[in-house]
Amino acid sequence: QHCTMRTLLLLCLCAYVAWAQDDLEFDDYETVSLGQILTSHLHLPFHMSTPQSRGPAGRYRSHQPSTPLMELTSSNVICCFFLRYRGRPTPPPVRGSHTQEKEVMPDAGGCTHAAETMGVLCPTGCELQTMLLKQERNVRMGINALRPHVDELSRSTNNIFNYVNSMSHSLRERQKIVYGELEEQHAYIKETVDTVFPSNIRVLQGVLEKIRLKIQKLEKAIQGQREACKEPCKTKCPVPVVSGESKDIYRRGGQDSQMYLIQPDSFFPSYKVFCDQTSQNGGWVLIQNRMDGSIDFGRRWDDYRRGFGNIAFESDKGFCEIPGEYWLGNDRISQLTKLGPTEVLIEMEDWSGDKVYAQYRQFTVQSESTSYLLAVDGYSGNAGNGLMEGALQLFGENRTMTIHNGMMFSTYDRDNDNWIPGDPSKQCSKEDGGGWWYNRCHSANPNGRYYMGGAYTSNMAKHGTDDGVVWLNWKGGWYSLKAISMKIRPFFASR
């Protein structure tokens, strides 16, 4: 029974399909399937496998049936037609006549169906237009999305092109500059190698030759020293055996004027002095001497306290009979004058050879605690009594300010004069060039600056003052003496 009903149902379906062919329109874009026909006309819950529809991306989507009852294909349709004709009795074939052959269905594919009776499957031009318009919208959206990227790429390409051109231009310019610099450096190096180096080599060779000659001279000098030192060294300026005071030396046979070793006080060590044994019966100790300007007398307090300079020099006679420039020292001068009454002899000479002197029968210098206070008296001579009376060219207070008797000793680092004490800009020793018993300032300046030739001017003076070796009462303040010396010895009234 079930088989009979199934057969009937298939027959009905096939008949309905044949009737419905006239109602199907194949001009639509989407192909109408057999399942749709059955569903729309018979209202049956029938699903069949339909051709896959093309999506926007060109891929296919499968429409799967929800409750497949039956799958109807072309072969089923064909089979359906066979079943319909198979229900009728077939007339017996006529003998001798041709038997009708079974119609072979073409299998051309493409746009036509397998059978001509089934129609054409290709879409119409309108359908193609609709499809292309849909695809155009999608493509246009893609193009619009790509356009900003293309513009940005174009701008970047232009920037890169300009940058590459700039680099190429800079490289060419740099190559030109480098080439020019290389040419200049090459020219400089060539000139140096061809000219400077040979010149420097010649100079160095000359310097080397001079050094070689100096080395030879030094070698000869060393050899001479070795020859001279083969024998024991001997003093060229021997000190006589006799010692004591100059007066005692004279009495003991020391009649030559030269350097001696004296020891006035047994409590103090002996020291060297130059003794004058010829002037006015001899016995003089030279405490100051200026003769050639070889010694700088612009010194500090301590130098004047200890003494400085050269005592004596060697002569052809084999002993030191030539006195040098020196200051014996305030401590020793004070010590000698305090042993008893002392007189001083001051001898002078100008640049013409004329000589004068000033002699004081009393000459005393106190200790350092009184800043070596000076006291003189009993003048005699032809140079003028400058130490006691001052400069004769001046009058009144101006002359009084040049008296040296009763003054303390001053140096540039210890100011004891009467010219505004305490004012560093008002110092006689600083302006007049040496240490002395300044007042405000001087009539005599034996320790001043040594000027060759005698006469000098204020423009030649360091501070514009009469700072030479002067004795105003003989030559004035602007004449510097050639020689001056101070000698002391014990004073005896019967002499």
Domain boundaries, the chain: 246-490
What is the structure's pLDDT at 24? 41
Range 257-262 average pLDDT: 86
pLDDT higher than 80, residue 45:
no
Range 128-132 average pLDDT: 76
Q: Give the mean pLDDT of the chain.
A: 77
What is the structure's pLDDT at 142? 82
What is the structure's pLDDT at 33? 45
Query: Which tens digit of pLDDT belongs to each residue from 197-223?
Result: 888 888 898 899 999 899 989 988 888
Instruction: Give how far Cα 11 sits from Cα of 75, 82, 86, 115, Å.
Output: 15, 10, 10, 21
Residue 50 pLDDT grade (very low, low, confident, very high; cuts 50, 70, 90):
very low
283 in Cβ contact with 246 (< 8 Å): yes
Q: What percent of the chain has pLDDT over 70?
A: 68
Instruction: Give how far Cα 259 sits from Cα of 244, 254, 256, 284, 343, Å.
Output: 13, 11, 9, 12, 20
Q: Tell me, what amino acid is at 422? A: G
What is the structure's pLDDT at 494? 63
Tell me the fold of 246-490. Answer: Gamma Fibrinogen; Chain A, domain 1 (3.90.215)
Which residue carries 């989507």 as its tokens? Answer: 61
Picking from 159-168, 330-339, 427-436, which range would have the lowest pLDDT averaged per residue?
159-168
Contact partners, residue 188, CB within 8 Å, separation at least 6 = none
